[in-house]
Amino acid sequence: MIRFTTISTALYFLSLLALLIDIGGGIGLKYAVMFLLLGWVVLLLLITQVPKGFFVEYVLIALFVLAFSYAVARGVSQPAVLSEMSFLFFLIFLVVGFDIPRRSLTHYFSIITIIGALIIVATFLAILIFPPLTKVINEIGNNYRLGYLGITPGSANLPNVYYRWSMWLIPGFILLLGRNQYASLLVGIAIVLTLSAAMALFSLVGAVALLILSLHNGLLRSKRVYWAGLFLILLVAVFWITQTNNAQLFTIIDKEFVAKFSSHSQSTSIKLGHITGSWEAMHASSLNLLLGTGAGSAFYSPGINATTANVEVSHMNVLRQYGIIGAAIFFGYIGYVIYKVYKTDCTGKRWAIGLSVLFLAAGTNPLLMSPVFMVPLMAARAYGFRFRIEEKNVYDA
């Protein structure tokens, strides 16, 4: 007889795989699997009792229910509000996670990360080696909302491969580093190939944090610290080469990768404009400052000289829409999850580090209120819950 845990684990992996293949929903696979997962969650809630100790989740749900009412009362259209809050749907991963062993939560997320890395490397090589495929790959990426897949602007043939789920590689890299040197090297290469400055920077920050904590917590096996240190050296070497080599290829990489850390880059300039516009919208009134301008509401951004509702600077976007009170509760919940999973075991500490750097990196893209952040957040929360249950069972036995 198939156990509920087996079904939950299978649906967890299938859902991750569906998001990897169809993150934008353009194919329809994402919605089909999410509907299946939702049905299973409803069944679980009907036949099993929701565990105690999840008061913080009730507070979070209450916050967004009130935020919905507040936004509608301020004149924001319901479709716009619902679209902005659609990321809350992925709270269902927490319910499924209640029923999955903690090792499985980590194992299958790591596998998805490895598959994702292979997809990025394969796409990069396909564009680089077979240039005629570039147009087809680019159209697939745009039509199915998978991400930006094509040629780096300003270059003749340097691929630019960035799937919308690419930042999953950050926590995946932290989970694998020092445990599977080949898989972590593959994921690290994929991170570099995205040419995302944020992904490279925060992966490096996470790796350094992991190495520091390993000195006291045994997060890395001593015989594999060499591999972790070697990979850090490789990352530093990439930065050094891009800044010192004048070859055309490295000049392009410097422009698209290293230069993005500069406040003079177009990308950074746009983000600063978004921050300025959000700040001005919040300071228009005390109500805006405390409760926000409303979920789904638009504002004028000097960064693009136009009115927009969703911007790359996710943290500021949360603050503008939900105000100081709402943002404090949401960010506080994220901090709570990180703290609770950190207090478990070595793998839990890896989840905490990975989630922390993902939280920071998500601020450079509109990903904080999306499945790209919510799914790892729920997986980490479920990991902390499962640790308490499994350790208690071992102690009672």
Containing H/E element for 352?
helix 346-361
CB-based contacts of 42, cutoff 8 Å, min separation 6: none
pLDDT at 123: 96
pLDDT at 299: 80
Contact 63, 329 (CB under 8 A): yes
Contact 206, 354 (CB under 8 A): yes
Q: Please report whether residue 287 resides in a domain.
A: no
pLDDT at 266: 62
pLDDT at 246: 41
Q: Please report whether residue 256 resides in a domain.
A: yes
Q: Please report whether residue 99 resides in a domain.
A: yes
State the pTM of this model: 0.88
Range of 192's domain?
4-268+305-396
Contact 71, 287 (CB under 8 A): no
Contact 225, 214 (CB under 8 A): yes
Q: Please report whether residue 174 resides in a domain.
A: yes
Q: What is the mean pLDDT of each run of 10 residues along the chain (397 residues)?
A: 84 97 94 95 84 82 93 92 91 92 96 97 93 92 93 79 96 92 91 89 90 71 57 57 46 51 61 78 86 87 76 85 93 96 94 96 85 96 91 56
Q: Please report whether residue 285 resides in a domain.
A: no
Number of domains the chain contains:
1
Q: Please report whether residue 296 resides in a domain.
A: no
pLDDT at 262: 53
Q: Please report whether residue 298 resides in a domain.
A: no
Q: Please report whether residue 289 resides in a domain.
A: no
